[in-house]
Chain A
């Protein structure tokens, strides 16, 4: 839910959004940093460009790479003067992944986060996640942590394929 204010709607700000749409997540290269909800705001005020970026997990090893990729894309597109700010608050949530981003995750074989993030609860795991291949809900979690902190590992009992699930946080 990117907040659209006047400073977002200048031509330069729009051009920066276009550039950022081309920057892919290094670990899931089918989803852009915009669709992942990492890029929060682009301001163009009094000639000064500012890009606000929010990291996903505090310990995510991809964070530095993502910041580097964004910086490089901005520089290459002629926005060397754009200032990149890292903002922790409000904290990133999977609710910020766009609808398009969810479709891209699914097409890549990763089940997108389902529903909204809730409050902390002991012993309350995610309900059965839909298989990204065959859409069956006859699935089971194999491991709460998958290849990265943001994913858990699941198996589909219908098509027998294992898959990653992008957890709600």
Chain B
């Protein structure tokens, strides 16, 4: 294996997580429970894809091999993707999507808030925009998780099932490896482990209002950020990439 550039790797991790989650959110377009939610989720999808575009464009510049954001999004295979696994899990029902949004957006808003102080000017600038967007995603999701959890018997059960399903995958967001360590040491990335307690406090406060509870910590799958994914990612990419792969130089 050739030597990994930690900055390039970092840009891919940030960009791919945003891209894959954006793709999952976009699956709600024309299928959301109400027209207002349809618009909200489509807007959220656009925010994520916009962030992905910025991160991947920068990744291409860091790499310096002439790949732009489209080349990176559409012409890599699943094992080359560096997204956290929580982003690639199927959208599930509406409760599942809202619980994932709560877990991820709360984390991301805290992460980007700190990343605005990055020693890397490009990443700091992207964080300044992404921070605001993730804050309102988290608020939107929090309100819905309370409504669902503290709603009917069925909505409560579905929301609790979603928490149980997604919780193990949330831990990967806070794990660090040699790539992260190198970036944390140089002040490029914040150390997510440092605010896990604060994050947990916010999540628990929302779940309490929602009359939901966290499962016991058990297995904590990880590996997405180094290219090991669930089977779901390949299907998502197949759909996302079919057109640019069939017509590589197509313009629209």
Residues from chain A with a CB closer than 8 A to the CB of B138 are 120, 122
We find that the number of chain B residues with CB closer than 8 angstroms to chain A is: 36
> Within the assembled complex, what's the spacing in Å between the Cα atoms of A57 and B136?
12
B184 within 8 A of A: no
Binds A, one of B93-101, B139-147, B187-195, B225-233: B139-147
Binds A, one of B44-52, B76-84, B149-157, B164-172: B44-52
Q: Give the shortest distance, in Å, between A20 (CB) and chain B (any CB).
A: 22
Which of B22, B50, B54, B142 meets A60, CB within 8 Å?
Answer: B50
Which of B121, B133, B143 meets A123, CB within 8 Å?
Answer: B143
A48 within 8 A of B: no
Which of B50, B128, B140 meets A144, CB within 8 Å?
Answer: B140
Q: Give the shortest distance, in Å, between B16 (CB) and chain A (any CB).
A: 16
Which of A91, A117, A142 meets B128, CB within 8 Å?
Answer: A91
B202 within 8 A of A: yes
Residues from chain A with a CB closer than 8 A to the CB of B39 are 143, 145-147
Q: Give the shortest distance, in Å, between B97 (CB) and chain A (any CB).
A: 15
Residues from chain A with a CB closer than 8 A to the CB of B130 are 58
What 1/0 mask marks residues of chain A from 83 to 108 whose CB sits below 8 Å from any chain B CB? 00001111110000000000000000
Is B51's CB under 8 angstroms from A58's CB? yes
Residues from chain B with a CB closer than 8 A to the CB of A144 are 36, 40, 136, 140
> Within the assembled complex, what's the spacing in Å between the Cα atoms of A142 and B36?
8
Given contacts A58-B53, A88-B125, A153-B36, contact A169 B132 (CB under 8 A): yes
Residue of A nearest to B146 (CB): A123
Residues from chain B with a CB closer than 8 A to the CB of A148 are 43
B236 within 8 A of A: no
Give 15 CB contacts A-B under 8 Å: A57-B47, A58-B54, A58-B126, A58-B129, A58-B130, A59-B45, A59-B133, A88-B126, A88-B128, A89-B124, A90-B128, A120-B113, A142-B36, A144-B140, A146-B39
Beyond A59-B45, A143-B40, 15 additional pairs, beta carbon < 8 A: A57-B46, A58-B130, A59-B22, A59-B43, A59-B50, A59-B133, A88-B128, A88-B129, A91-B128, A92-B129, A117-B132, A124-B139, A125-B139, A142-B36, A148-B43
**3 smallest A-B Cβ distances: which pairs?**
A59-B50, A58-B50, A59-B46
Residues of B within 8 A of A (CB): 22, 36, 39-40, 43, 45-51, 53-54, 109, 113, 121, 124-126, 128-133, 135-136, 138-140, 142-143, 202, 205-206
